[in-house]
Amino acid sequence: MLRPLLFLFAVPYNLISINTSDCPITYYGQEYTTVYTNFTGEDLFVCFNGYYNPEGNGDCIRVPNTDNRTNIALNNNNDPSYWTGLTDVIHSSVSTVTNNVTCYLLFYNRLVSMLVESSSFLIQTKQTLDQTLFCTLRSILHDICSTFTGHGFGVKPGDTRQIPNTCTFLTCSSTRIPSVKTCGPPGQCDGNGTCLCTVTGPTVIDFKRQMNSVSDRCEYSLLHDQSTGFSLKANFLERRRRDVSFVDSLTLDFSDSEDIQLLQGHRVTVTGSPVTVNSSVQTFSGVDLSKDQTGVTASFSVNGSSVSVFFDGTTAQIYMADPVNFTYDGLCVDSNNVSSLRLSSDTSCQFKYPDPADNTINCSAVAQQCDVLKSAPFSSCNSKVDPQPYINACNETLCKYPDVDGLRCQFIQAYAKACEKSQVNLVIQVFSFTVQPKPVCGDRICNSHEFCGEINYNGGCRCREIFAFVYRQSNLLGGPTVCKDNNASLSLVGCLLNEKSIDYTLLHLNDKNCTGVMDPDSHMVTFGFNGDSCGTKVTETSNQIIYKNGIMTSNGSSEVITRQDEIYIEFSCINKKPEMQTVVFRIQGSTVVQYIKSEVWNYSVTMKAFTDGSRTQVLTPDSEVKLNQRIWVELETDGLNGDLVSVVTDSCWATDNQMSNSTPKYDLIMDGCANPDDQTVYVGGNGEGTSNYFSFNMFRFSRSTGEVYLHCKLQLCAKKNNCVPACSRGVRRRRSAKYRDEAPAFLSMGWSH
Ligand SMILES: *[C@@H]1O[C@H](CO)[C@@H](O)[C@H](O)[C@H]1NC(C)=O
Ligand SMILES: *[C@@H]1O[C@H](CO)[C@@H](O)[C@H](O)[C@H]1NC(C)=O
Ligand SMILES: *[C@@H]1O[C@H](CO)[C@@H](O)[C@H](O)[C@H]1NC(C)=O
Ligand SMILES: *[C@@H]1O[C@H](CO)[C@@H](O)[C@H](O)[C@H]1NC(C)=O
Ligand SMILES: *[C@@H]1O[C@H](CO)[C@@H](O)[C@H](O)[C@H]1NC(C)=O
Ligand SMILES: *[C@@H]1O[C@H](CO)[C@@H](O)[C@H](O)[C@H]1NC(C)=O
Ligand SMILES: *[C@@H]1O[C@H](CO)[C@@H](O)[C@H](O)[C@H]1NC(C)=O
Ligand SMILES: *[C@@H]1O[C@H](CO)[C@@H](O)[C@H](O)[C@H]1NC(C)=O
Ligand SMILES: *[C@@H]1O[C@H](CO)[C@@H](O)[C@H](O)[C@H]1NC(C)=O
Ligand SMILES: *[C@@H]1O[C@H](CO)[C@@H](O)[C@H](O)[C@H]1NC(C)=O
Ligand SMILES: *[C@@H]1O[C@H](CO)[C@@H](O)[C@H](O)[C@H]1NC(C)=O
Ligand SMILES: *[C@@H]1O[C@H](CO)[C@@H](O)[C@H](O)[C@H]1NC(C)=O
């Protein structure tokens, strides 16, 4: 249908001006009848008010000149049937053009030809309504200002044009430099100007529909606006495996205002303080916050672009509209280079734990399951939202992490939500039968070493694996035993109890009245006893006194059946006689057996000498002591429970130098009793309490330096035994052998005459 009527110009120069009054051009409301062209080799500039001038403000069109052939078609409001074919081509290519094409300019091989519809031409030339002008390069349409290949829209210099169905902004700078801002190909665009980025589990499906995953436990930038400094950050943490991380919390960081955090359990904090959010929108620092059963939504605007962030604890969906003013980067913009967007300065979050692969996972079965997004009911959405990145995210994650806690459902829901945004209605009921449901976590608050996962088909706080690993390795539920100030305590880990469905309120010590106390923050359940309280059994061996108790399941319950494991966790503290030793304690039960090191109650022993019977005048190293002067020596302990233990002075003797085993040696106390051969020695309170004393008259060693060193051996004795040595003047009996230690507490002090 189209035929060149005439070649008007055949000029072998780069610069051509053409009188186009036969086909007048109305460009943004201004009518022009001369066209100035400048072929520069790469580009063709077509201008209407003078030749192209890089500094000038002329109205120009820039068209690439790649194949030396450029068509510029002009249409006006005329309706000659002659032009129907061309009109059809134009209409199918450029949705905004509605009027009919009536004249045509062709720029070919540095030649310009003008085609006009002969019959109607003369009549139509002056009837210029607001004509639309556009460029065609073969069948590809180009923009008025510049080359917006494929978009089919013209943009005037200095203008921006939005194309909602592809979430694209075409901007033409005043110097005719084109720029395209878009969240990516259709699929992550909802068809109404909003781009979508999905972060679910370890995976990020960015605005361009690229899928990549985070493998460490660091914080990442999802969206960062360089012009305002706004940042949306995501923190990743491990769950059941140490080598797979999940998006755990989001931070909205407004450089000049308060940070807002979206946390697990649908919690929100503003500058670190928790705020209560409900279904009605509340505004904090310019951010609209609201919450429904599914999660929390934060909506705000950054330099004219509106952003909405939804987070349900497992999946974050970031919607961004009008990205024209947004000078952004981040994982949502390009997820390809994960490492460059890591924010954490502390590199410990990057440590890779060598967890063995889960050999119960059948990757080909997983791939089949994830492929469900290509079949009904999802197939109806496939043409609008490409399912492949969601399938890849599902397959990649579930090939290394078990399909628990509704993980597969998470990927399917993310796709369903993207479809919903793109106005595709899925028959949701169909897929709820094909995947296991997500555990209902809702507002459940787990602490930082826990996450909400599935426990007995319900949501509950499970342990994060890095925290739990040390316990699991040794098959422990808690510990170690803490022995301090005569108190003994053992803390069990709340989430480990949860995972075994052990209800801590049903646990107690030997005495049923001694139950565990759960710390509301750490979720540690602590059981403790003091001395021999709570049914503690005190036993004595040759070198220690043991205080033993146990955590056990209620057995007095009247229920016929129980769904709890029977548990028995024995723990103990000891008083060393005198050196630290360890004893084992263990959990007995149908499923749980564990061994924890017992701990020791520490105590101190001091020896002081006095010059008076009331023991107030302390003998210092400088004090003068006369021969035959009476001296009182007190052996005092601190930190022992006097109700249960007493201190026995086994023996004291003197030497003339610091070596306790040197000769000559002179005995003051032997086997707990005063040396019967020295009538000046008196022993007081021995074995009765945690302190005792003795007195004697000072002497000196004959033929010696004049120094006297005193050495004593002490022992501990459980009070339920008779600890008081049986002494009688003149007839000394040996005490029970059980007080004889290999290495008793040993003290020395010395005087110099
Ligand atoms: C033609 O275009 C070239 C390259 O942009 C430019 O340098 C030159 O000034 C233009 N010529 C005229 C007469 O405007
Ligand atoms: C454009 O035309 C020039 C001169 O006729 C020729 O040398 C060149 O190869 C052509 N370029 C293309 C891409 O056709
Ligand atoms: C374009 O031409 C068709 C017939 O070819 C006519 O029906 C239609 O009204 C014309 N449109 C305009 C805007 O003139
Ligand atoms: C598209 O977005 C506009 C403005 O946000 C809104 O008014 C309109 O309802 C949306 N259309 C659809 C189909 O969602
Ligand atoms: C908003 O964006 C525009 C265009 O990118 C920029 O010139 C301007 O500085 C930005 N405003 C702020 C407050 O950063
Ligand atoms: C939401 O919370 C606000 C402030 O705490 C309160 O005024 C409002 O009544 C609550 N709305 C609902 C639906 O509970
Ligand atoms: C870009 O930002 C400027 C300044 O904040 C604002 O005036 C303008 O409306 C924004 N443009 C768009 C398209 O949102
Ligand atoms: C990733 O980003 C870093 C830092 O920006 C850069 O050095 C590196 O070359 C990038 N890698 C890829 C594959 O783009
Ligand atoms: C893995 O799954 C595929 C597909 O369901 C099945 O054909 C194959 O037998 C499975 N392999 C194992 C080892 O179970
Ligand atoms: C699924 O993921 C595994 C591991 O990443 C990969 O080896 C496999 O090729 C993937 N299968 C499909 C169908 O994408
Ligand atoms: C020891 O236990 C008692 C009673 O259980 C308690 O009052 C005391 O504060 C505890 N002491 C320490 C140091 O924990
Ligand atoms: C436990 O407490 C109850 C009530 O406080 C008391 O009657 C009972 O004697 C206590 N049992 C033991 C073994 O102390």
Contacts of 432 (CB under 8 A, 6+ apart): none
Q: What is the pLDDT of residue 621?
A: 63
The set of protein residues with a Cβ atom below 6 angstroms from ligand 9 is 362, 364-365, 368
Mean local confidence (pLDDT), 569-588: 51
Q: Give dist(CA 466, CA 449) in Å, integer.
A: 8
Give nearest CA residue, ligand 4 atom 11.
Answer: 192
Q: Give dist(CA 172, CA 573) in Å, integer.
A: 79
> Six-digit token pair at 27?
């460009």
Pocket test for ligand 10, best of 395, 397, 403, 411 (most atoms within 8 A of CB): 395
Give 49: exposed, middle or buried? Use CB within 10 Å, 0-12, 13-18, 19+. middle
pLDDT for residue 559 is more than 80: no
What are residue 670's DSSP bridge partners?
673
- End-to-end alpha-carbon separation of the chain, Å? 134
Q: How far does residue 225's CA lie from ligand 5's centre (Å)?
A: 10
DSSP 203-272: EEE-TT--EEE--SS-EEEEEEETTT--EEEEEEEE-SSTT-EEEEEEEEE-TTS--EEEEGGGEEEETT
Q: Is 433 helix (H, G, I), strand (E, B) or coil?
A: coil
- pLDDT tens sequence across 217-260: 999 999 998 888 899 999 999 999 999 999 999 999 998 778 99
Q: Is 435 helix (H, G, I), strand (E, B) or coil?
A: coil
Percentages (nearest 5) of helix, strand, coil residues in the chain: 15, 40, 50
CB 481 within 8 A of CB 456: no
**Residue 367, ligand 10, Cβ within 6 A:** yes
Give nearest CA residue, ligand 10 atom 2.
Answer: 396
Q: How far does residue 640's CA lie from ligand 12's centre (Å)?
A: 27
pLDDT for residue 77 is more than 60: no
- Of 95-109, 172-186, 449-463, 565-579, the poorest mean pLDDT is in 95-109
**Residue 519, ligand 2, Cβ within 6 A:** no
Q: What backbone torsions phi and psi does residue 131 show, to the nearest 5 degrees?
A: -70, 155
**Residue 526, ligand 11, Cβ within 6 A:** no
Q: Of the bound ligands, which one is closest to the alpha carbon of residue 279?
A: 6
- Give the residue carrying structure tokens 């694996």: 465
Split at pLDDT 50, 70, 90, the class of 362 is: very high
- pLDDT tens sequence across 465-484: 999 999 998 888 887 888 88
DSSP assigned state of 487: E
Q: Of the bound ligands, which one is closest to the alpha carbon of residue 212?
A: 10
In the chain, pLDDT over 90 holds for what percent of residues? 23
Give nearest CA residue, ligand 9 atom 11.
Answer: 362
Q: Of the bound ligands, which one is closest to the alpha carbon of residue 340?
A: 8
Mean local confidence (pLDDT), 654-667: 82
Q: Of the bound ligands, which one is closest to the alpha carbon of residue 486?
A: 11
Q: How far does residue 191's CA lie from ligand 7's centre (Å)?
A: 21
Q: Of the bound ligands, which one is closest to the alpha carbon of residue 515?
A: 12
Mean local confidence (pLDDT), 428-447: 58
**Residue 67, ligand 2, Cβ within 6 A:** yes
Give nearest CA residue, ligand 6 atom 14.
Answer: 278
Pocket test for ligand 8, best of 329, 338, 340, 342 (most atoms within 8 A of CB): 340
Q: What is the pLDDT of residue 221?
A: 95
Mean local confidence (pLDDT), 691-695: 90
- Give the residue carrying structure tokens 């019977």: 613
Q: What is the pLDDT of residue 709?
A: 77
Comparing 66 with 224, the larger pLDDT belongs to 224
Q: What is the pLDDT of residue 469?
A: 94
CB atoms within 10 A of CB 344: 16
Q: What is the pLDDT of residue 574?
A: 83
Radius of gyration of the chain (CA): 44
Q: What is the pLDDT of residue 244?
A: 94
Question: Which atom, in ligand 6's list, is nearest to the CA of 279?
Answer: 13
Q: Give dist(CA 692, CA 646) in Å, integer.
A: 9
CB 323 within 8 A of CB 167: yes
Split at pLDDT 50, 70, 90, the class of 580 is: very low
Comparing 405 with 464, the larger pLDDT belongs to 464
Q: What is the pLDDT of residue 590?
A: 26
Mean local confidence (pLDDT), 46-51: 76
Q: What is the pLDDT of residue 282?
A: 94
Q: What is the pLDDT of residue 27?
A: 58
Q: Give dist(CA 559, CA 743) in Å, integer.
A: 52
Q: Give dist(CA 711, CA 649) in Å, integer.
A: 11
> Six-digit token pair at 659?
């070596």
* Of the ranges 26-40, 221-235, 328-342, 440-454, the best mean pLDDT one: 221-235
Q: What is the pLDDT of residue 97?
A: 54
- Of 67-71, 346-350, 737-741, the poorest mean pLDDT is in 737-741
Split at pLDDT 50, 70, 90, the class of 10 is: very low
Pocket test for ligand 3, best of 75, 79, 90, 129 (most atoms within 8 A of CB): 79
Give nearest CA residue, ligand 12 atom 3.
Answer: 513
Comparing 735 with 397, the larger pLDDT belongs to 397
Pocket test for ligand 11, best of 482, 485, 487 (most atoms within 8 A of CB): 487
- Give the residue carrying structure tokens 């509301």: 520
Q: How far does residue 442's CA lie from ligand 4's centre (Å)?
A: 29
Split at pLDDT 50, 70, 90, the class of 634 is: confident
CB 234 within 8 A of CB 316: yes
Mean local confidence (pLDDT), 290-311: 90
Mean local confidence (pLDDT), 511-538: 90
Give nearest CA residue, ligand 3 atom 13.
Answer: 99
Give nearest CA residue, ligand 6 atom 2.
Answer: 278
**Residue 165, ligand 4, Cβ within 6 A:** no
Give nearest CA residue, ligand 9 atom 13.
Answer: 362
* Of the ranges 73-87, 90-104, 539-553, 574-588, the best mean pLDDT one: 539-553
**Residue 79, ligand 3, Cβ within 6 A:** yes
Q: Of the bound ligands, which one is closest to the alpha carbon of residue 64?
A: 2
- Of 57-66, 214-223, 674-683, the poorest mean pLDDT is in 57-66
**Residue 81, ligand 3, Cβ within 6 A:** yes
DSSP H/E element including 171: strand 168-172
Q: Give dist(CA 252, CA 314) in Å, integer.
A: 17
Task: Report the amino acid identity of residue 672.
Answer: G
Four-residue CA torsion sign, 529, 532, 534, 539: positive
- pLDDT tens sequence across 171-227: 777 766 667 776 655 446 666 678 889 999 999 998 888 899 999 999 999 999 888
Question: Which atom, in ligand 7's list, is nearest to the CA of 169?
Answer: 13
Pocket test for ligand 1, best of 52, 110, 177 (most atoms within 8 A of CB): 52
CB 63 within 8 A of CB 70: yes
Q: How far does residue 443's CA lie from ligand 6's centre (Å)?
A: 17
Task: Report the amino acid identity of residue 140.
Answer: I
Question: Which atom, in ligand 4's list, is nearest to the CA of 190?
Answer: 14
CB 26 within 8 A of CB 35: no
Q: Which among 372, 364, 365, 404 has a CA at the least distance from the CA of 390?
A: 372
pLDDT for residue 303 is more than 80: yes
The 3-state secondary structure of 95-156 reads CCCCCCEEEEEEEECCEEEEEECHHHHHHHCCCCCCCCEEEEECCEEECCCCCCCCCCCCCC
Q: How far does residue 512's CA lie from ligand 12's centre (Å)?
A: 8
CB 327 within 8 A of CB 226: yes
CB 233 within 8 A of CB 253: yes
CB 731 within 8 A of CB 689: no
pLDDT for residue 597 is more than 80: no
Report the alpha-carbon angle 165-170-175, nearest 5: 170
Q: Of the bound ligands, which one is closest to the alpha carbon of residue 367?
A: 10
In the chain, pLDDT over 70 holds for what percent of residues? 66
- pLDDT tens sequence across 368-384: 989 988 987 788 888 87
Q: What is the pLDDT of residue 65?
A: 52
Split at pLDDT 50, 70, 90, the class of 726 is: confident
Residues composing the chain: 753
CB 8 within 8 A of CB 116: no
**Residue 92, ligand 2, Cβ within 6 A:** no
Q: How far does residue 496's CA lie from ligand 11's centre (Å)?
A: 26
* Beta strand ranges found along 466-600 (DSSP E): 482-484, 487-493, 507-508, 517-518, 524-530, 537-540, 544-553, 567-576, 584-589, 594-597, 599-600
- pLDDT tens sequence across 131-164: 222 222 222 223 344 334 444 445 656 777 676 6
Q: Give dist(CA 554, CA 577) in Å, integer.
A: 35
Q: What is the pLDDT of residue 399?
A: 94
Q: Give dist(CA 468, CA 400) in Å, integer.
A: 19
**Residue 192, ligand 4, Cβ within 6 A:** yes
Mean pLDDT of the chain: 74
CB 569 within 8 A of CB 509: no
**Residue 667, ligand 3, Cβ within 6 A:** no
pLDDT for residue 734 is more than 80: no
- Of 120-129, 302-311, 497-506, the poorest mean pLDDT is in 120-129
What are residue 179's DSSP bridge partners?
171
Q: What is the pLDDT of residue 139?
A: 22
**Residue 21, ligand 8, Cβ within 6 A:** no
Mean local confidence (pLDDT), 730-748: 44
Q: Give dist(CA 544, CA 254) in Å, integer.
A: 62
